[in-house]
Structures are given as C-alpha cells and as structure tokens.
Amino acid sequence: MHAHVYFQLCLRRYKFRIGVLIVFFDLCLFNSPVRSQGIDGQTHSERKISLEDALTIALERNPQFHAIRDQVDAALGALRQSKLYPNPVLEFLAEEMPTHEMGLNQSQNLVAVKQPIITGGKRGIGIKLNEKSKEKNEFERDAVLLNVVADTKKAFYKVVADQESFAIAQKVEKIAKNIYQSEKVRFKGGEIPITNVLRAEVELSKARNSVSNAEGNLQNSLKELQTVMGSPEESIVGVTGKLLPNSGTISLDELELKMANNQPSLKASKKNIEIADTQVVFEERQAMPDINVSAGYKRLSQENLDTVQFGIEVPAPLFNRNQGNIQKSRAFSRKAKNDYQAVYNDLLFQLRRDVTLYNVEQKRILEYRDKILPGADKSLKLIEKGYKEGEFGYLDLLDAQRTWAETRISYIESLKNLNLLISDIERLAVVKIGDSNGK
C-alpha cells in the first residue's frame, strides 16, 4: 500500500505560524508546488491558481477555520481563569457609633480580611477540566483543518474536471464545424442531398450548446472553489494541475487502524468522555463545602482597647449536597461514551463506503485507459479518414464522434470521482494516498 501518515495532528498551541503551514503543504500536496503567476493583461486577482494556492488561501481566509481557532483561544482563556485563586475580601465595619457625635472616636471599629478556602481538591479538578476542554477544542480545530483541506481539494478537482470537459466540448464543436463545412462543399458539388447539410447544422448547434453548458458548469465550479476558500469576491479564471489517474491498491484494514489512531474527531470524542468523567468527580466534590476564614483587628474606642478577631464559616450541607448535579453529570458521562461509539461507527461507515467506491472507480478508470479510450480514438481516426475518402457516410462519422466524446467525458467523470474519494479517505484516515506530485 502506498499510504502513509502525511501529517500528525500534534498542534497543541492555538497559533498557527504561516511558516508551519507552508511546510505542511509542501509535504502533503499532490500537485506541482510552483505557484501560478497572473495572466498577462489581468489583475493580480484574476489568475489561474494551483492546489497549493487554493489551500493557502483557504487556511488564511476560511471563516470556519478562523472560528474554531477563536474557540481554542477562548478555551485557553478559561484555563487561565481556572488557575486563579479567589480574591480575599477586605472588610471595614464601624459599630455602636453615637448619633450625637459622628466619627470613629466613640465607635467600635473593625478591619478584617476574609479568604475563601476551596476544599476537597475542587480547584485542581476544575483546572483539570479546563485543560481537557482546551485539548478537546484543539482536536476539534484539527478536525476542521482536515475538513477545510478536503473540501478545498474536492472543489479544486471539480474545477480541473470541468476544465477538461470544457476543452472536450470545444473540440467536439470544432469537429462538428468541420463536418458542417465539408457537407456544404459536398452538397454544392452534388455529392450529397441537402438533408445531410441540415443534419450537420443541427449537430453543430448541439455542439455549441454543449460548449455553453460546459462553460456554465466550469463557472459554477470556480465559484464553489472561491466560496470554500473563503474568498468569493476573488476572480479566478481557472486552475493548474491534473486529476490523479492511478493511486494503486489501498488496504482497508490499515486505513481503519490509522483512522482509529489519528482521526481528531475521534480524539475529541474521547476527550469528551474524559471531561464527563472528571465532571462527575467535580460534582461529587462540590458536596464538600468551602470554608471562609477571617481575621481582623477591632478597636473598642470606649474601653480604649485593641482586640484581635478570628473566625471560620462552614456551610452545613443538610439539604443541598449537589445531588441533582451529580445525577446529571453521571448521565452526561454515559452519553459521552455513546456519542463516541456513534462517531466511530459513522466514520467507519464512511471510510468503508469510500474505499469500496474507490476500488470500483479504479477498475473503471483502468478499463477506460487501457481499452475504451484507445478504441474510441482509433475508431474516430479511421472513420474520419474513410469519410474523407468516401468509404463511410455521415451517420458513421457522427456515431464515432459521439462515442469519442462520451467516452472522454465518462473517463473524466471517473477521474473526478476517484480524486474526490481520495480526498475524503485522506480526511477520514489522516493519510496521504498516491503520487505526491499529481502527474
């Protein structure tokens, strides 16, 4: 199997330096690493882009990825806050102040400090909860990164396929135009009836309509790519690169193992189980009341005495022992385990389905490449030659032309499907499949 882990999701900090991203793309991209330049006479934004360009733009501008990075930043803030100890309370109290003489000379004056004491290790458990929450958010960020990369690749490959389909439609139009011109000449020479010319004119109109449809599909694919990248306002005239024709055999067992070990969505779901179990411990410890300790100085002005005060406040957990929150946290713990199994089952289903479809497309592509396409090319050339020499009629030429176009378009569709499946399999199993340069 030609598959290996193409990046390890070990990004534990919330900031992604652009240099790290460039190295990442250099390691995992299929297509040529050379960035495309602007087309002459066009603005910088009107250009053909490579897959590397598309991925770089997506990581810079995709709003979903930016949102999850902000979520990681928020989790870091929550962790920082959980490590801060509760502030002490400063208290000043003047008692028994005479109404006929405002001031502190005749009153009993107290200056004290109160400090909450967190018991039962609740503060440490709270910090642990926020640490696990931060790690979960980092795994979710990595999962979004995989999704953005896969979605960008799939949108890019759709553009590549539609570009090739557009080129085929243009070639069919050119063939139809040549046939139409040839039929007119032969009609004028009295060799064929007018019906052949009319039929050729209809086929030319159909070919022109196919070109218009193919161009519309290409424009829609370009818009989809721009939207996925997060830059719908940017004008892109096309892309550079090719569809991957052959990726070799892949092992489902190995892919399942890699998915279980490397898929960040599974890691985030596992982390949810840890968070839920820790939350159970935290809620059980909440039944242990915190203590308020106070100490202060009190001046008895009338007696001219200085005194010291000390106190401890301990709530009595007679009625509220946090029973409801303990029950709720235990239920969430069970839910987290079931959620993990559901996530794993869904990802496993997607992987097995995609691998099955991948194998089907591989066989279909090989059949087209080795038998169908060469046969269609040879047939069209022979009939074109025979048509010019009068050996074949117009209907024979038309049938060969249609067969050639249909087989080419079907082949491109299979290539597109294969590349879309590769992108999804890479996302699910966190691996790279196939040739590194996409040639």
pLDDT digits (tens, 9 = 90+) for 154-191: 999 999 999 999 999 999 999 899 889 988 988 998 88
Is 401 inside any structural domain?
yes
Q: Confidence class of residue 28 from pLDDT cuts 50, 70 and 90?
A: very low
Backbone φ and ψ for 392, nearest 5 degrees, come out as -120, 150
Q: Confidence class of residue 433 from pLDDT cuts 50, 70 and 90?
A: confident
- Cα–Cα dist 56/112, whole Å: 60
**Environment class of 200 (CB within 10 Å of its CB; exposed 0-12, middle 13-18, buried 19+):** buried
pLDDT surpasses 50 at 39: no
245 or 385, which is more confident: 385
- Looking at residue 104, its pLDDT comes to 66
Is 317 inside any structural domain?
no
Average pLDDT, the chain: 85
291 or 434, which is more confident: 291
Dig out the tokens for 317 from the structure.
Answer: 């957990």
- Looking at residue 14, its pLDDT comes to 34
pLDDT surpasses 90 at 77: yes
* Amino acid at the residue 400: A
Helix (H) or strand (E) holding 295: strand 291-300
Is 319 inside any structural domain?
no
| ∠ CA 5-342-344, rounded to 5° | 15
**Chain mean position to CA 94:** 63
Is 225 inside any structural domain?
yes
Of 42-51, 338-347, 397-406, the one with minimum mean pLDDT is 42-51
- Cα–Cα dist 419/292, whole Å: 64
Is 361 inside any structural domain?
yes
Return the SS3 of 47: strand
Q: Confidence class of residue 6 from pLDDT cuts 50, 70 and 90?
A: very low
Is 106 inside any structural domain?
no
DSSP state of 372: I
DSSP state of 354: H
CATH of the domain at 173: 1.20.1600.10
Q: By residue range, what is the domain housing residue 274?
A: 3-86+123-286+326-433
* pLDDT tens-digit map of 223-234: 999 999 998 887
Instruction: Report the share of the chain in percent with pLDDT over 90.
Output: 65
Is 33 inside any structural domain?
yes
Structural domains in the chain (count) = 1
Q: Confidence class of residue 103 from pLDDT cuts 50, 70 and 90?
A: low
Is 358 inside any structural domain?
yes
